[in-house]
Amino acid sequence: MSKDQDLSLIQDSSVMTNTPKKSAQPQEIPILEGDLKKNLADQSTDQSTFSISKPALSAQASNTSTTKAEASTTPTGPTISQTPSTDSVSPTTRSISPNPAPHKSNSTLAKIWHALEFIAVTAFIFTILFFLINFQSYSALFQSKLDQLRGQLNNNPYTQDEQNQLKNASSEGQKPLPIVTNSTAAKKQIPELTLSIAPPDDRVVIPRIGQNVPVIRVPTDLLLRRDWTALEKQIQEALRFGVVHFPGTAMPGDGGNVVITGHSSYFPWDPGRFKDVFALLHQVQVGDKIVVYHEQKKYTYEVYEKKVVKPTQVDVLTQNGEDRLTLITCTPVGTDLNRLVVLAKPV
């Protein structure tokens, strides 16, 4: 190969080396400058149509607008590559605050309703428990009302005998028998013996309510020592066996205030048998007779007053020289709110 051929080959290689290689570029769609401005204006109008309340969405929209503005001013030539927009704009969200006045009113009504509901349920439960605890006393009241409707009163034989004697008793006394000489007629004049037998223990008989119960005496030593707690306990224990003659008051026949107290109702689990002896005491009426047996002697009293007093009114226990009988029990039945007092005088 000649020297001239070598130089030509070197020149050809240098030309090939200095020539830049064209890279394969994606085909761009030519868009006119007027169309580009129109598209940007339409996008700006669409962005201003929606108002975004949340700061994050507002910032995102601002950044998107800024990016598009920069893209429009960047000298990239008259061609751009269109790509589908992935931005999604949510509809306007307005935070509507509720009216505070109705909300507060509804809350108050709900509280009142819940309070009334609680009171009603509590009252219902209390009523059921109350009647269960005082079932024995209120069953006696119900039976008494039922007997009155049927016309069957005082079916207790122990009180009917006393009631008959009180009805047949004459204030004029026994009339003298006429003198006869015939022995046969004389035999017919002799009446049958009707001796009344007094019980061996002290008792009180109330025909109106059909009660004939023993009277229990309580020692007075605790009263003299003014040990009121122990005295109350002693009286409650004695009430298990009947009604109680209140210590410190007069005895029948001694001339004074004879005070007898008894239960109108008591706890059903108490072992006593006389928890409701005075449950019907309020049915006693003025003019009724009450009989008291003391040391096998009979004392008859007639009711002249009936009243309700507070537990603090202890004047019904005082001894003022008046000869009377005082019966005391709790009222209303099943409570100890007040005291029912029945006063009777000897006849």
What is the model's pLDDT at position 104? 65
What domains can be seen in the chain, in order of their start residue? 135-165+198-346 (2.40.260.10)
- The CA distances from residue 135 to 10, 145, 149, 330, in Å, are 132, 15, 21, 16
Residue 242 DSSP SS3: coil
What is the model's pLDDT at position 15? 44
Low-confidence residues of the chain: pLDDT under 70? 1-104, 152-177, 180, 186-187, 189-196
Dmax of the chain from CA atoms? 209
pLDDT digit string (tens) for 102-125?
Answer: 566 788 888 899 999 999 999 999
pLDDT digit string (tens) for 161-217?
Answer: 666 665 655 555 556 667 767 777 766 766 666 666 788 899 999 999 989 999 999
Distance in angstroms (rounded) separating the CA atoms of residues 220 and 235: 11
- The CA distances from residue 273 to 28, 241, 246, in Å, are 114, 7, 19
